[in-house]
Amino acid sequence: MALNGKLAVIDLSDRSVSIKEIPMSVRKRFLGGRGLDAYLLYNYTLPGSDPLGPSNVMIVSCGLLGGLLASSSGRCHIMARSPLTGFVGSSNIGGYFAPELRFAGFDHLVIRGRAAIPSYLWINDGRIEIRDAAHLWGKDVFETQAALEQELTDRAVQTLCIGPAGEKLVRFATVMTGFKNAAGRTGLGAVMGSKNLKAIVARGSGSLDIAHPEAALEYNRSINERILATKIAGTMQKWGTMFIYGGTNAIGFVRTNNFLSNQLEDGEGLEAENMEDVSVGHGACFGCQVHCRHRYVIKEGAYAGTYAEGPEYSSQGAFGSMVGCRDLNTVLACNHLVNRDGMDTLETGNMIAWAMELFEKGIITLADTDGIDLRFGNDEAVIEMVRRIAGRVGFGHILAEGPLRAAGVVGRGSEDYLIQIKGMSNLHSDERPTPALALGIATSSRGADHIRSRPGIDVYNLPLPTLERVYRDNPAPYAGPLVNRFDSYEGKAWMVLWQEHNYMAVDALGVCKFHTIFMSPNLPSFTEFSRMVELNTGLCLTPLQIWDAANRSYTLERMFNIREGLTRAHDMLPERYFTVPTPAGLPMAKGKSIDRDRFEGMLDEYYGLHEWDASGTPTPQLLERLGIGWEPTDVL
Amino acid sequence: MTEVLRIDAKSCTGCRLCEIVCSVKKTGSVNSARSRIRVVRLGGSSGYLPVVHRRDLAVIMAGDIGPGRATMFEEYRRTGLAQCDFCGGDPACAKACQAHALRYERCAQEEVG
């Protein structure tokens, strides 16, 4: 069957490899991917482990549906204790690596210790070798992958690797595969770098047997047709996530000049339609028909002629509105640089935007920035700062430490200007007009984040029957209110919680969030997941069982964070969300701030729905019901 | 007239769904190595190329880009046509490809050559 993949525990210190079965009982309770990773992280990591020390573990996985007939089953999940936040480090990456790992016989890798010399893992049809990577150290992401294909004389190998930023332990370094697929958030590339692990290469010829092949083929075809029939998928096929920018900026949902505005005036140059001039086509992840990835060649500037992939909506903000730049070429160049060197586009843009606001306010000066004129809108300065962060050069060395540590070094009240939660910076979205989205970023288990719990469809003010269909008793019972106004605080706690479970299920199954209820209410969720699992694997899990598994894993992430010092105070928005109204945008977005008391009330409601106490700690009754309290930790 | 798979490499997004459905249809399992069709990543802005004939795969998947591979790419680009057993007249790969990189068509025998 498809679920024969093994767990490999790899100790880079003593160069040992231990291969274990994954019991079906564990799969049913945690599914796979991020779900089972949470279980492994909790049990394999000692409390207080140094995120950049050998005792931290890095877990790499495919989902329960990885590589199977599930519309887009190429997602890979990576987890560790984050060197950026100290809490759950967790990031999901597209491409083709996860299926190849599964073809090679493995579903989860637990990597611990630290290699004595730069190394890479070669995973090939059930065998795992720790190989010398001294010749790869110093190479960028693209060079590394090309060199490994050459060395292994196989163009079909799939590689996860770090670039120079990961080697230099930039605290928001990424793990990369291909030209732009990034495990971008929480600094997992630095964890890999700290282990002297340059790359993981997979190649497999194993078969993943489908439980019901004909029915699975037909169901996958019908699911794909349904996905592609949505407006969102059709738009993504042409413009990728860049399409979002035009609408959100027009309304006033786009954080601009760090946090000085919520709308970039004259920002048309950043809109997706401008990609027509540079695009050479689209790319897709494994099995995906949405193909949201632009492939482009930079036409102007220092990187003219360079081939790259992306950018995403996040880069439009990171190197556009947040830093006050209006030139798409700057976005394209910076997108290329962060992918080449292996850094999180969002954290990089946020660090530069923060420094720019400090500079404009006179809190830092040219003496701090090595003479770089960090005024908003200085395109060349932004590109230069990206290079300096990746190389940890001068002021870039400070920014490479991430928001809280950098503010600690700069001092002078600079922390007040960070737009971060739990030590991780936010997307360039401005959630002051949207309480549901604000609650989502405040409570996300990995820090400020838009793809952990965001009810993206809330901003559409959909007809109430549509919200009822999505959120009411699907599959878990809910008797509270649902309100189809994005400025309301009512019923939003449940929407955030529902999306949390949905995205956890998606990450545990190893499929893509663009194929579920995120930006469209008409995409698959628990009912369809249940059918996909049954047809592909033969495993019968009801929608409610999948919901419970997601809940179990999310609760474990919460428990991991609490073990590392998380309190209710960490589930909090930056102060300016409460005190500074939005200055721009349409009436629905202008003059908005989050009401502190109502936010606290929403947080209480959210904790209550989770069966967490007022401090945000899971209750003993919840742990008992989910079976976490008695879960044997030595089962794997 | 004869049936062919018409391959439009420019429309291929590299998703490999054709590989997946081909192997599932023929073997009941996902295994690219057992798929009649394979998607080759050409690198950089060149994109992707779905390739059908098994005789070409060894050349394609080798690390070095030799003259044989270049000739074969040229052949595919020129004709854009390939033939296999077509799943009994209902080719799973073409049916799955929503990017329209693969289409099942009838064409004149002379065009196939």
Residues A145-189: tens digit of each pLDDT: 999 999 999 889 999 999 999 999 999 999 999 999 999 999 999
Cα A215 vs. chain centroid, distance in angstroms? 32
When pLDDT is cut at 50, 70 and 90, the band that residue B2 belongs to is confident
Contact indicator for A345, A360 with CB cutoff of 8 Å = no
Report the C-alpha gap between A534 and A224 in whole angstroms. Answer: 17
From the list B10, B32, B63, which residue is nearest A149 (CB)?
Answer: B63
Spell out the domains of chain A, with CATH numbers in brackets: 2-203 (3.60.9.10), 241-419 (1.10.569.10), 435-626 (1.10.599.10)
A184 Cα to chain B: minimum distance (Å)? 21
Q: Do A103 and B32 touch (CB under 8 A)?
A: yes
Contacts of A297 in chain B (CB under 8 A): 45
Among positive and negative, which fits the CA dihedral A134, A135, A136, A137?
Answer: positive
Q: What's the average model confidence in pLDDT over A460-474?
A: 97
* pLDDT, averaged across chain A: 97
Give the whole-angstrom CA distance, residue A459 versus residue A415: 30
pLDDT band at B49 (very low <50, low <70, confident <90, very high): confident
Contact between chains at B61 and A103 (C-beta distance less than 8 A): no
Q: How many domains does chain B have?
A: 1
pLDDT higher than 60, residue B64: no
DSSP string for residues in A313-382: HHHHHHTTGGGT---HHHHHHHHHHHHHHTB-HHHHHHHHHHHHHHHHTTSS-TTTTTT----TT-HHHH
Q: How confident is the model at residue B15 (pLDDT cuts 50, 70, 90)?
A: very high
Using DSSP bridges, classify how beta strands A6-11 and A106-112 pair: parallel, antiparallel or unpaired: parallel
CB atoms closer than 10 angstroms to residue A575: 12
Q: Do residues A330 and A382 touch, judged by C-beta distance below 8 A?
A: yes
Which of B17, B19, B31, B87 would best serve as a mutation to test chain A binding (most A beta carbons within 10 A)?
B17
The whole-angstrom distance between B86's CA and the closest CA on chain A is: 16
Hey, are the CB atoms on A155 and B16 less than 8 Å from each other? no
Instruction: Report how far residue A3's alpha carbon sits from residue A547's, in angstroms, rounded to the nearest whole number.
Output: 20
Q: What is the predicted pLDDT for the residue at A425?
A: 98
What's residue B54's pLDDT? Answer: 61
Distance in angstroms (rounded) separating the CA atoms of residues A480 and A179: 45
Task: For A64, list phi and psi in degrees, rounded to 5.
Answer: -60, -35
Gap between the Cα atoms of B24 and A457, Å rounded:
35
Question: How far does A407 lie from chain B, in Å, by closest CA?
Answer: 39
Q: How far is CA A623 from CA A498, A604, A617, in A?
A: 19, 19, 10
Q: Are A10 and A109 spatial neighbours (Cβ–Cβ below 8 Å)?
A: yes
Measure the N-to-C terminal CA separation of chain A; round to a whole number of Å: 20
Nearest to B23 by CA among B9, B38, B11, B13: B38
The sign one gets for the Cα dihedral A273, A274, A276, A280 is negative
B87 in contact with A, Cβ within 8 Å: no
pLDDT of B65 = 47
Cβ atoms within 10 Å of A409's Cβ, excluding its own = 12
Question: Under an 8 A CB cutoff, do B28 and A209 touch?
Answer: yes
Interface test with A, best of B11, B12, B23, B30 (most A CBs within 10 A): B30
pLDDT(A510) > 90: yes
Using CB atoms, pick whichever of B10, B23, B64 lies closest to residue A281. B10
The per-residue pLDDT for A132 is: 98
Residue A291 half-sphere exposure toward CB, CA atoms < 13 A = 22
A207 touches B: beta carbon within 8 Å: yes
C-alpha distance from B107 to closest chain A C-alpha (Å): 26
C-alpha atoms less than 13 angstroms from C-alpha of A218 in its C-beta half-sphere: 5
Task: Give the minimum alpha-carbon distance from A279 to chain B in angstroms, rounded to a whole number.
Answer: 9
List, for residues A558-592, the tens digit of each pLDDT value.
999 999 999 999 999 999 999 999 999 999 999 99
CB neighbours of residue A315 within 10 Å? 27
Inform me whether the C-beta atom of residue A281 falls under 8 Å from chain B C-beta atoms. yes
Determine, for residues A207 and B31 on separate chains, whether the beta-carbon distance falls below 8 Å.
Answer: yes
Comparing alpha-carbon positions, the chain B residue that sits nearest to A223 is B96
Question: Closest Cα of chain B to A213: distance in Å?
Answer: 5
In sequence order, which residues have a C-beta less than 8 Å from that of residue A170 and are 6 or more positions away?
A: A187, A189, A190, A343, A389, A390, A392, A400
Taking the alpha carbons of A478, A482, A486, A490 in that order, is the dihedral positive or negative? negative
Q: What are phi and psi of A302, to 5 degrees?
A: -65, -20
The answer to whether residue B29 neighbours chain A at the CB level (below 8 Å) is yes
Report chain A residues whose CB lies below 8 A from the CB of B92: 217
How distant, in Å, are the alpha carbons of A12, A57, A151, A175 from that of A132?
12, 20, 12, 19
Within an 8 Å CB–CB cutoff, is residue B31 touching chain A? yes
* Contact check, Cβ <8 Å, A283/B13: yes
Neighbouring CB atoms inside 10 A of A385's CB total: 28
Q: Tell me the count of A-B CB pairs closer than 8 A.
A: 97
| Selected residues 149-168 of chain A with any CB under 8 Å from a CB in chain B | 149-150, 152-156
Identify all chain B residues contacting A2, using CB atoms and an 8 Å cutoff: 30
Q: A52: pLDDT confidence band, cut at 50, 70 and 90?
A: very high
Mean pLDDT calculated for residue range A97-113: 98
Nearest to B31 among A208, A216, A307 (CB): A208
What integer pLDDT is reported at residue B24 of this predicted model? 97
Among A192-206, A523-537, B62-76, the least confident range: B62-76
Nearest by CB to residue A289, choosing from B10, B23, B98, is B98
For A20, phi then psi, to 5°, come to -130, 155
Q: What is the pLDDT of residues A374-418, one digit of tens each?
A: 999 999 999 999 999 999 999 999 999 999 999 999 999 999 999
**Residue B31 near residue B23 (C-beta atoms within 8 A):** yes
Assess B42–A contact: CB distance below 8 Å, yes or no. Answer: no
Q: What are residue B4's phi and psi, to 5 degrees?
A: -145, 160
**Which pair of tokens denotes residue A160?**
């996860």
Dihedral Cα A484, A487, A493, A494, nearest 10 deg: 10
Q: How far is A186 from chain B (nearest CA, A)?
A: 27
Residue of B nearest to A179 (CA): B44
Among positive and negative, which fits the CA dihedral A488, A491, A493, A497? negative
Q: Which one is predicted more confidently, A630 or A236?
A: A236
Please tell me which residue of chain B has the smallest CA distance to A206.
B31
Among A203, A237, A286, A293, the residue to mutate for chain B (most B Cβ within 10 A)? A286
- Smallest Cα distance from A497 to chain B, Å: 32
Amino acid letter for position A77:
H
The SS3 of residue A176 is strand
CB distance A155–B61 less than 8 Å?
yes
pLDDT at B78: 59
Distances in Å between the Cα of A524 and the Cα atoms of A162, A512, A515 are 33, 11, 7
Q: Using CA coordinates, name the residue in chain B closest to A95.
A: B15
Angle in degrees, 0-180, between the axes of helices A231-239 and A243-251, rounded to the nearest 10:
110
Q: Name chain A contacts of B24, Cβ cutoff 8 Å.
A: 69, 210, 213, 216-217
Subunit contact A206:B92, Cβ cutoff 8 A:
no
Q: What pLDDT score was predicted for residue B74?
A: 62
The Cα-based distances of A430 to A134, A212, A574, B38 in angstroms read: 44, 46, 11, 44
B27 in reach of chain A (CB within 8 A): yes
Q: Are A362 and A391 in contact (CB under 8 A)?
A: no
User: Is A447:A422 a contact under the CB 8 Å cutoff?
Assistant: yes
Exposed e or buried b per residue across A454-479, where buried means at least 16 C-beta atoms within 10 angstroms of its C-beta: bbbbbbeebeeeebeebbbebbbebe
Question: Which of B15, B29, B41 lies at the smallest CB-CB distance from A288?
Answer: B15
Q: Six-digit token pair at A418?
A: 């960070």
Is the pLDDT at B75 greater than 90? The verdict is no
> What is the 3 state secondary structure string of A372-437?
CCCCCCCHHHHHHHHHHHHCCCCHHHHHCCCHHHHHHHHCCCHHHHCCEECCEECCCECCCCCHHH
Taking each helix axis from N to C terminus, what angle separates A328-341 and A379-390, rounded to the nearest 10 degrees?
0
- The separation between the first and the last C-alpha atoms of chain B, rounded to the nearest angstrom, is 12
Q: Which two tokens stand for residue B108?
A: 């004149």
Chain B residues lying within 8 Å of A230, measured CB to CB = none
Query: Exposure pattern of A111-136 as b/e (b: 16+ CB <10 Å)?
Result: bbbbbeebbbbbbbeeebebbebeeb
Give which of B8, B10, B12, B15 to mutate to test A binding, by max A Cβ within 10 Å: B15
- Helices A543-563 and A492-509 meet at what angle, rounded to 10? 100
CATH label of the domain that carries residue B11: 3.30.70
- Name residues whose C-beta falls within 8 Å of residue A621's C-beta, 6 or more positions apart in sequence: A611
pLDDT at B70: 58
**How confident is the model over A2-17, as pLDDT tens digits?**
999 999 999 999 999 9
Q: How far is CA B35 from CA A28, A536, B24, B51, in A?
A: 30, 18, 8, 11
In the numeric block, which tokens belong to residue A531? 């059918």
Range of the domain at B22: 2-112
